[in-house]
């Protein structure tokens, strides 16, 4: 019994500080809205993955002057959208832009709303809270921890950079805020991982704040959002190769492409892109997309067993 009590005490010592850090400031709800799309009859191509259409969703004030970010799949085929503020007012919203490849959309309302400050990607185990509108019941806060970062290849979107959390989410939470212990926006709630039903089982995903900011900047500037195309074809390493390296093999390099100009050749093993380790093709796509425009991208590789550092220029 004493050992059980000591174990419980140790768990409480570990959990209590995290819970204290995750205390949620109710004032942050002023930066979260309920998104109310008016549905049409023909939906555009939806993002990949098993994700039910929601009658309403959530949104986060991302910039001053009334700019609100939400998910592409929350709007679906809607041409008219309104938002309900935390104080209960409902305002018409303009659809500034939307992008299916990242599942991000941008709205604008004529209201002076406080934007959430964008924060850095949190570490594993960091306390986080979500603010969203699950099942349309109204703004709701749930808390948990960061379970993983830089998740990709989940099958929801062409470009993925997810933060995984165990904070409870449900349909209607999409487009809500994932907030760190200091009140900063670290992610945009996007997806629930489930096999049988669209309900919470503790594996939930939020689009990382860096990816949200990258797409919002492009939508504000009315720039097209395209997949990065260095001109190489990457494939996973074969089983025996993974004993020596963690990365992706270059299977093909197009003549005259950015990859060819950078000096890549068939057989190179790419281990990191822009300082981020890559083991899946989806991770390389996300890492390239997140690099600042008009800046050379550092890529580390292995050729014939020797380390190699190359610089890749991608036109934007």
**174 carries an active-site annotation:** yes
Q: Which of 31, 56, 58, 73 does the annotation list as catalytic?
A: 73
Residues 106 and 241 in one domain: no
Q: Which of 133, 114, 136, 135 is nearest to 25 (CA)?
A: 114
What percent of the chain has pLDDT above 90? 71
Note whether 171 and 291 are same-domain residues: no
Which residue shows structure tokens 């309403």? Answer: 56
Start-to-end CA distance of the chain, whole Å, equals 64
Q: Which is the catalytic residue, given 99, 103, 161, 268?
A: 103
- Residues 117, 17: Cα–Cα separation, whole Å: 24
Backbone phi, then psi, for 138, in 5-degree steps? 120, 170
CA distances from 316 to 80, 118, 159 (A): 31, 24, 16
Q: Indicate the number of domains in the chain.
A: 2
Q: Is 150 considered catalytic here?
A: no
What mean pLDDT value characterizes the chain? 87
Residues 127 and 197 in one domain: yes
b/e burial code for range 112-128 (CB count within 10 A of at least 16 → b): ebebbeebebbeeebbb
199 pLDDT band (50/70/90 cuts)? low
304 is catalytic: no
> What is the C-alpha to C-alpha distance for residues 114 and 221, in angstroms, rounded to an integer?
21
Tell me the whole-structure pTM to 2 decimals: 0.85
Of the chain, the percentage scoring pLDDT greater than 70 comes to: 84
- Which CATH number belongs to the domain containing residue 165 in this structure? 2.40.10.120
Give the bridge partners for 60, in sequence order.
32, 69
Find the catalytic residue in 31, 147, 174, 282: 174
Q: Do residues 142 and 196 share a domain?
A: yes
Residues 243 and 197 in one domain: no
- Across the range 291-297, mean pLDDT stands at 86
Mark whether 166 and 63 lie in a shared domain: yes
pLDDT greater than 50 at residue 12? no
Q: Which tens digit of pLDDT belongs to each residue from 93-143?
A: 999 999 999 999 999 999 999 999 999 999 999 999 999 999 989 999 999
Instruction: Pick the closest to residue 129 from 80, 186, 79, 172 (CA basis).
Output: 186
- Same domain as 218, residue 254: no
- Return the pLDDT at 49: 41
In this structure, are 206 and 261 located in the same domain?
no
- Cβ burial of 63 (10 Å; 0-12, 13-18, 19+) is middle
pLDDT at residue 294, rounded to an integer: 77
CATH (domain of 251): 2.30.42.10
CB 71 within 8 A of CB 83: no
Using one digit for the tens of pLDDT, what is the confidence trace for 219-278?
999 988 888 899 999 999 998 888 888 999 999 999 999 999 999 999 999 999 999 999
pLDDT at 165 over 90: yes
Gap between the Cα atoms of 105 and 83, Å rounded: 14
Looking at residue 50, its pLDDT comes to 43
* pLDDT of 281 over the 50 cut: yes
Higher-confidence residue: 161 or 54?
161
Residue 236 structural domain = 232-312
**Residue 8's pLDDT band (cuts 50, 70, 90):** very low
Q: What confidence category does residue 28 fall into, taking pLDDT thresholds of 50, 70 and 90?
A: very high
Residues 167, 191: Cα–Cα separation, whole Å: 12
């Amino acid at each position: 019994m004493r050992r059980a009590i000591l174990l419980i005490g140790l768990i409480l010592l570990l959990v209590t500080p995290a819970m204290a850090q995750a205390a949620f400031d109710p004032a942050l709800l002023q930066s979260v809205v309920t998104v109310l799309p008016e549905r049409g009859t023909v939906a555009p191509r939806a993002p990949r993955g098993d994700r039910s259409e929601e009658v309403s969703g959530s949104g986060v004030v991302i910039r001053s002057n009334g700019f609100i970010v939400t998910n592409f799949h929350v709007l679906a085929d809607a041409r008219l959208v309104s938002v309900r503020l935390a104080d209960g007012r409902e305002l018409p919203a303009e659809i500034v832009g939307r992008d299916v490849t990242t599942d991000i959309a941008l709205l604008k309302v004529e209201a002076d709303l406080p934007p959430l400050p964008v924060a850095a990607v949190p570490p594993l185990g960091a306390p986080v809270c979500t603010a969203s509108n699950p099942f349309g019941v109204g703004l709701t806060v749930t808390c948990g921890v960061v379970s993983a970062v830089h998740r990709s290849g989940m099958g929801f979107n062409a470009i993925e950079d997810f933060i995984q959390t165990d904070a409870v989410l449900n349909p209607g939470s999409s487009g809500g805020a994932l907030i760190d212990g200091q009140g900063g926006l670290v992610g945009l709630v996007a997806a629930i991982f489930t096999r049988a039903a669209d309900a919470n089982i503790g594996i939930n995903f939020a689009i990382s704040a860096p990816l949200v900011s990258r797409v919002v900047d492009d939508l504000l500037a009315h720039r097209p959002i395209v997949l990065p195309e260095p001109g190489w074809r990457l494939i996973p390493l074969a089983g025996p190769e993974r004993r020596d390296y963690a990365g992706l093999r270059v299977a093909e390099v197009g003549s005259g492409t950015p990859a060819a100009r950078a000096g890549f050749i068939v057989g190179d093993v790419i281990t990191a892109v822009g300082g981020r380790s890559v083991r899946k093709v989806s991770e390389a796509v996300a890492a390239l997309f997140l690099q600042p425009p008009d800046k050379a991208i550092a890529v580390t590789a292995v050729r014939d067993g020797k380390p190699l550092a190359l610089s890749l220029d991608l036109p934007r």
